[in-house]
Structure 1
Amino acid sequence: MSRVAAICYAVGLPLALVELVFLPVGHFDWPPGWLFIGFLVVAYGASALILAWVNPVIYRARSRFQPGTKRWDLILLWLMLPAMIAEIPFAALDAGRMSWSMVPAFIVVLGYVLLGAGIALGTWAQAVNRFFEPGVRLQRERGQHVISTGPYAIVRHPGYVSALMVFAGLALALASWWALIPAAWASAILILRTQREDALLRAELDGYADYAQRTRFRLVPGLW
């Protein structure tokens, strides 16, 4: 990533987050919104610095959808994207303006725990997996092989576990039960995506079937 692009990301993403949170609220005098934004900026900023140090190639791998991305994956992502975009402003509208939800403080704390743990897990997965791209495809030109270290020794798709934790954490940290609806939709699409990706890797990636036998759980250790 060029210096200019890095600066644009560093400035543009927090500004976009401010818009997503405060436009539905209608004013900037909402402390939970600033706490939420500050937490995400610090957490994702730390994640970006760690990845720039331990696995900088991940930025090129994740910069765009690469040729060969499966068509079914692009369809699933387009089905999931509206819910992902809507979750934060919907939660802010609920908690900061309409007060539809009554969420206890300990649930809000749980939301931040899920957010922090999800971001940390996603960072760990990207740190050990140089093939961590935004789209599903076989990366033969990059010599893709099975990654079985780090969180991949526990579950086969830790990046998706991270996303599921973040989806739930976003709604709860902003104190909105109703925002769990788009979170649940995005999570359901993501779970379907893991099933399709797992089948593809079993069929076409050398060694993945053996890895799947050793690492039996796709998303939840000890359960599934």
Structure 2
Amino acid sequence: MGTLLVALQFGLLIMLAALAAPNVLHGDIPAGALMMAGISVALIAWALIHNRPGNFNIYPEPKFRGVLVTTGPYRWIRHPMYTSLLLGAAALAWTCNTFIGWGTWSMLAIVLFMKSTLEEQGMRKQHPGYAAYTLRSKRFLPWLF
């Protein structure tokens, strides 16, 4: 199931990039979309600074010797990498500004929700403190979701 979700994630991201490409090539990128893309990149960088190399995985299974990270953006968000993907993908959907683009973004959000659910099952098994961590953090959006 994890491999299928990763394949869907990348396929949907490629589709969004292809849909936005004509507008990007013509320099027709809304200022809000640029700002959203910048926030996405900043969040990825912040998450990578706090996560150890080799500790994260594109598949929704925790690494065998992985360490539970609860600092930086992980203090408030359990899946900041997924949040940054959703922000970057929203910037692409906004740039292409079509029903197909926003539909693709919605499908990506569902895939990432499913992927995070699968990942959290594994994290609960591997890290005894994970259940308590879920009570003081949110899945994607601080203080909301």
Q: Shared fold (TM-score greater than 0.5)?
A: yes
State how far apart, in whole Å, the 2-side matches of 1:92 and 1:138 are: 34
1:79 corresponds in structure 2 to 8
Structure 1 gap ranges (5+)? 1-71, 97-104
After the TM superposition, which residues 1-224 of structure 1 pair with which residues of structure 2 at under 5 Å, given as runs? 72-93=1-22, 95=23, 108-130=30-52, 131-140=55-64, 143-172=65-94, 174-178=95-99, 179-215=101-137, 217-224=138-145
Bigger drift between 188-197 and 177-186 goes to: 177-186
Say whether the 8 Å CA contact 1:108–1:175 is kept in structure 2: no
Secondary structure of the residue aligned to 2:30 is helix
With normalisation by structure 1, the TM-score equals 0.56
Secondary structure of the residue aligned to 2:110 is helix
Q: Could you tell me the percent identity over the aligned residues?
A: 27
Structure 2 gap ranges (5+)? none
State how far apart, in whole Å, the 1-side matches of 2:10 and 2:62 are: 23
Secondary structure of the residue aligned to 1:81 is helix
RMSD of aligned Cα (Å): 2.2
User: What is the Cα deviation at residue 200 of structure 1?
Assistant: 1.8
Q: Which has the higher contact order (CA 8 A, sep 6+)?
A: 2
With normalisation by structure 2, the TM-score equals 0.84
Runs of 4+ in 1 over 3 A off after TM superposition: none
Aligned positions, number? 140
User: What is the Cα deviation at residue 175 of structure 1?
Assistant: 4.3
Say whether the 8 Å CA contact 2:62–2:119 is kept in structure 1: no
